[in-house]
Each structure stands twice: as C-alpha cells, then as structure tokens.
Amino acid sequence: MYLAAALATSATAAATTVPLAMTPASGLASRLAPSEPTRPYVVTARNRVAARDLVGEVRWRVRRYYTAALPGFATFLTADELAELRADPRVSAIEPDHQILPMPIAAPARPLPGRGGGRGTTVYVVDSGTDPGRAPFADRVWRAFDATGGTGRDCAGHGTRAARLAHAAAPRAGIASVRVLGCGGSGTLADVLAGLDWIHRHARGPAVASLGIDGAGSPALDAAVRALVRSGVFVVAAADASGCRVVPGGAAYSAHAPHLAGVAARHLERHPSAQPLVVASWLKCAAARGLIDENPSGASDLLMRNGGQ
C-alpha cells in the first residue's frame, strides 16, 4: 500500500514543474514522468557540496532536499537511475524510503526527581502532531512544523500523549510539535528526516527533541540524529526497554522518552549550556558499549528497538 501511494505521488510530482529555487526539506520536481516504474529512496551524499550539486543537476525527481541534518535528498528513481546514482562517487548511501511507525510511550512508575519546570527551554516532540484542545497545556504548546503538509493537527493521538508526558515533567517548558506521522498513525522516512532537518535549522536556546518513532535500520536517520546532537540538541528516542541508554553520538533511548525529555529540560533550565552528553550523564543514562562491541554492524537496529538492553 505504501509503495502504491508513493508511485501515485511520483506521478503527481513529476507532472508538476517547480522552479529550481530550492528550499530546505522542500519538494522539487522538474522531469517528465518516466515510462518505467519508480520507487522512493533517500540519498545521502558525501558532503553538502555534493548534495547541492546532485540536486542542482535536476536529473532526479527530488521531493525533499535536506540541508542541515543530512547532506542529501529524497527522490523517486527508476531501476536504471538507482544504478546510476549508486555508481556516482558523490553518493555515500542510498536506502529505500519506507514506512515509520510510532513506538509505545508511557510515564515511568516513579517520575524522575529534579527541581525546576523547564523555564526557557523547548521540547520538540517529533510525532503525529498535537491537539492542544485535548490537553491541559494549550498555552505551552504550538504546532511548529508539519512534514505531511497539513496543519499540525494530531488526528492519531500519539503525539498529543507524548506532549502531555513531556509537559507533566517540565510544565514551564515550551512544547514545539513537529508532525512527521499522518492520520493513519504512520509516516515515511523522508518526512521524519524533514522534521529533524527543520529542528536543526530552527532550534534556539536550550533544546530537547523527543522522538516517539521506530526508526530502526535507517543509516540516514541515524546520521540525522547524530547531527542534531552535535548541534547541541539533546535527543531522546523511544525504545522498548525502560531506563535510559546512550549510544555513541550522544542520543539516548528509553521507553519513557517524552518524560525523559521533560526531565532533561528541567536540568537545562538550571544549566542552559550543558551539552547533550553531560545531560545524559546527569540522567544516569548507561552507555550501550557492550552491545555495540558484540554487534557493531547491527547496533543501530537493536538500540532503536530496545535501548541497548
């Protein structure tokens, strides 16, 4: 069903000519519809110059162009075009754009202790949007970005629950909703990357990102998360296991991701210049090095799903 929808989108995008005034994470299409079937892919370039040059050649049906979290773009390719790009020395990796699902989220049995309410910080909730009318924090939440092209409204409920948990832990923090999942409850890798790209470009001051999604097995998503952490944003992603595990690159994983994001915001209220690894250490997040040593090639998949346990 997902690929069928992607192919339908491809035909629509290819039939529309868009000027070459590229904007970050925006759509761009200026090729005629191909006679061969196309499939959606995410292309990671070796650097930002290479990404810009590849997109500027207008040889690909580019849907999104990432400028901050990832040097690359999302596009539709025929089999021949895929082979051509794989052979291009400017390309680092290509992976199919695929469905992204929400992860279960819950508050811990015993909330983590800490002082303050997160004043002056922002928690970016990367999820299915928010519905402020269904939550008691309408004055603290705003719909910051919608990668699906909608208004940021949460028609699935998952994002509002995540925002509510973050707000409960940090009632004075701002909650910025970054919608990457649709009304069916799922989303695409391309949209998730667009959400992280937007945060990378717009986050100001002490910031935390809560990812309520399952992004296991995506090198592009791993790279985007690492880039966001390097920019100074503490990232905590959902996982099956409780507790908190931090991976090389500084991202943390927990079944209580939104709550942990709020607790991190409380710490950043008192220590606004603290770097993500310092925040993880304060939260007593354990390093998942043991698992990585045992399974270096598959660490990403396991860590996204179970936090390294």
pLDDT on residue 134: 66
**Spatial CB neighbours of 243, under 8 Å, sequence gap ≥ 6:** 254, 286, 307, 309
Q: What is the CATH number of domain 2-97?
A: 3.30.70.80
Is it the case that residue 32 has pLDDT exceeding 60?
Answer: no
Distance CA 31, CA 45 (A): 21
Q: Where in the chain is the domain with CATH 3.30.70.80?
A: 2-97
pLDDT on residue 302: 33
Closest alpha carbon to 210 in 171, 172, 160: 160
Is it the case that residue 160 has pLDDT exceeding 80?
Answer: yes
Distance set, CA 111 to CA 106, 227, 260, 279 (Å) = 11, 29, 9, 17
pLDDT confidence band for 116 (50 / 70 / 90): confident
Q: Where in the chain is the domain with CATH 3.40.50.200?
A: 100-306
pLDDT, tens digit (0-9, with 9 covering 90-100), for 47-87: 999 999 999 987 889 999 999 999 999 999 999 999 999 99
Mean pLDDT of 201-205: 93
Supply the pTM of this predicted model: 0.84
Domain 100-306 belongs in CATH node 3.30.70.1530: no
User: What proportion of the chain, given as a percentage, has pLDDT over 70?
Assistant: 79
pLDDT on residue 114: 65
Is it the case that residue 201 has pLDDT exceeding 90?
Answer: yes
Query: pLDDT higher for 141 or 302?
Result: 141
**Spatial CB neighbours of 294, under 8 Å, sequence gap ≥ 6:** none
* Contact present, 76 and 14 (Cβ < 8 Å): yes
Closest alpha carbon to 147 in 104, 193, 111: 193
pLDDT on residue 24: 55
Query: pLDDT higher for 83 or 307?
Result: 83
* Contact present, 161 and 152 (Cβ < 8 Å): no
Sole residue written with tokens 């075009």: 81
Mean pLDDT of 205-215: 94
